[in-house]
Each structure stands twice: as C-alpha cells, then as structure tokens.
Amino acid sequence: MKNTGTSVLNDKKISLRYRIIRWLVWLFSPKYRLSGAENIPGGACIIVGNHSHMQGPIAAELYTPGLHDVWCAGEMMKREEVAEYAFRDFWSGRPKAILWFYRILSHVITPLSVLVFNSAHTIAVYHDARLKTTIRESLARLQEGSRIVIFPECYTRHNSIVYDFQQNFVDIARFYYKKTGERLRFVPMYLAPALGTMNFGEPVVFDADAPISDERTRICDALMDRITQIAVSLPEHTVIPYPNVSKKHYGKNMPLEDYTNETES
C-alpha cells in the first residue's frame, strides 16, 4: 500500500487477513492521482467528499495523505447490525423479484464487514445515543493532527454532481474550537473514478463567532458548490451518484455554463 499513515489512537492490531484483503482491494480497485493536495492543511482538518458508492471510502482509506480516519456507519462494524443496515442502505431499492438474494448477501458479507471496518482507519458514526462516542473519538483524532474524511450525502439530489449534505457533522468544528481555540478547515474533495483522480479544493474555514445553525448551512452549501465547481472543471467523465442505482442512470459532469443554467432554472 502506498499510504499507510497511522494514528496513536488508531493503533489497531491488524490481522494478516485484513492486510491481504487491503492489498487485494488496492490491486483491483481504481488507482488515483491526487490533484490540489496543497489545499489540505498540514494538521487537523475535515475532508468532505462525494461518496461515489463504495469508491469514496475505499479511495479515502488507501490514498488520503498523512494521518487520516474515515467516518464509517457504526452499524457496519457491529456483527449483529450489519445485515439489516446493509440490506436497507445498499439493496432495498433493487427489484422485488431478487430481493431474496440481497437478503442472503447481507448476511454473507457480515464477517467481512466486521473485519474490514474494524481494522481500517475508521471512526464509527452513530445517530443515536452513541453519537457521543463518535464526537469524542473524532475530537481525540483531530487533536492528534489526523485528517477526518466524511461522506455526508443523503438521498435528496442537489445537482448533477452531488446530493444534499447531512449537516450535523459541522458541529465537530464547534466542539474542536471549544477544546483548542482553533478554527477547523473543511476541505472539499471530488472523487472522479472514471479519471482516476482525487481532487481537493480550497478549504472552508469554520466561523466560531457565527450561530452554529448558520454555519451548518453556510459550510455545507460552500462545500457542495466547490465540489461541483471542481467536477465541472474536469474533462468530461461519468459521475457516480450517491444512490445505488443502475449504471444506465449515471450522468456526465456538465460544462460550467450548463451547471449555471441548471441552478438558475
């Protein structure tokens, strides 16, 4: 593996099985070149990108420079929760006639999911009472100087490039400021598997003096806009959307003037 940054708090006992799996994933998955990496701060920051199905998390684990941790659905790390979450989030939209197959598959992948996501550079993310654990671990990693990678898209379409962001991840910056007095930077990242590039844009800086509700909206809007601007500035390519839809529904990145027309219509 090219990028093997580790963290003191993320000093996990890595099994040989995981090392083999990681190498195989690297071998058979798309290879990426970094573009705009100078926009990534030297210390702690939050990198926010488009999900591109599983391409985003895989690329983040393998190619993010320096110390890094990827936010991961906590359910994918718990043996008793993987199957239900995987079926609901990945495959519930498949044709009814073959749903039985994906029900079985969701159980088949459970041991692999538990091994991989507990061995990789991940932080378990929860949306229930366990959220405190997510926040505590994220703050500890940031204070080590780690870069946290987040893929916050939901199922509401924002434009032809990204889907709307769930906004509450911005709150990490408020907690971090209270602990350290430092204003976190959010770095936009656009992953283009078709081009083999991970593209980073200029960071958005957290404003500790503004109401957090305003900051959630401002930062997410700015990140989605910058990711879109990066995407449409690249050569024509296929955009992998967040929802797990058929490839025939994938679109292309649009020229900048077409994107402008879409947002104004």
Q: What does the pLDDT look like over 226-260, one tens digit per residue?
A: 999 999 999 999 999 998 777 888 999 976 555 44
Q: Which of 171, 203, 57, 194 is nearest to 123 (CA)?
A: 57
Task: Read off the pLDDT band of 12 (50, 70, 90).
Answer: low
pLDDT of residue 64: 96
Q: Determine the Cα–Cα distance for residues 66 and 30; give it in Å rounded to an integer.
A: 20
Are residues 46 and 184 in contact, defined by beta-carbon separation less than 8 angstroms?
yes
Query: Which tokens sit at 201?
Result: 């844009």
pLDDT of residue 15: 82
User: Does residue 106 carry a pLDDT above 80?
Assistant: yes
User: Model confidence over 89-100: pLDDT tens digits?
Assistant: 888 777 889 999
pLDDT of residue 255: 62
pLDDT of residue 249: 85
CA atoms within 13 A on the CB side of 224: 23
Mean pLDDT of the chain: 89
Q: What is the separation of C-alpha 164 from the centre of its chain, rounded to a whole number of angstroms?
A: 13
Task: Read off the pLDDT band of 53 (50, 70, 90).
Answer: confident
User: Does residue 8 carry a pLDDT above 90?
Assistant: no
Q: Which of 62, 78, 79, 61 is nearest to 70 (CA)?
A: 61
Q: Domain ranges in the chain?
A: 26-67+145-264, 74-129
Query: Which tokens sit at 264?
Result: 């104004």
User: Model confidence over 170-226: pLDDT tens digits?
Assistant: 999 999 999 999 999 999 999 999 999 999 999 999 999 999 999 999 999 999 999
Task: Read off the pLDDT band of 126 (50, 70, 90).
Answer: confident
